[in-house]
């Protein structure tokens, strides 16, 4: 049994001295994949402001947080996330603190 272990270790093709650490390839910012959660956050934020949908504004904040957690390119993604967050907060402020809609009476 011990002779079998010695022969298998002698025939092991792996060489620790030639192992190199993984270095991810450099990708240009324009070649990065689209940040869908950031895009959805912008769309929901704008619809929350324009159509005064509370749910849309809350979902925009959630998608902003998701996009912030998965941010790959800090410069372009931060601009998009900040714009979406501004729309979402503006929508929440107008929904909760603004005047009520004329159609909603009860």
pLDDT digits (tens, 9 = 90+) for 45-62: 999 999 999 999 999 999
pLDDT digits (tens, 9 = 90+) for 66-80: 999 988 877 778 888
Is the whole model's pTM more than 0.85, yes or no? no
Q: Where are the domains of the chain?
A: 35-97
What is the C-alpha to C-alpha distance for residues 24 and 27, in angstroms, rounded to an integer? Answer: 9
């Amino acid at each position: 049994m011990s002779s079998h272990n010695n022969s298998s270790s002698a025939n092991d093709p792996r060489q620790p001295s030639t192992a190199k650490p993984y270095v991810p390839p450099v990708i240009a910012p324009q070649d990065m994949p689209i940040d869908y959660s950031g895009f959805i956050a912008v769309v929901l934020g704008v619809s929350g402001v324009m159509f005064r949908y509370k749910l849309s504004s809350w979902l925009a904040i959630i998608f902003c947080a998701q996009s912030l957690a998965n941010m790959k390119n800090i410069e372009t993604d931060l601009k998009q996330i900040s714009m979406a967050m501004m729309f979402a907060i503006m929508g929440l402020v107008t929904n909760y603190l603004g005047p009520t809609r004329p159609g909603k009476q009860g």
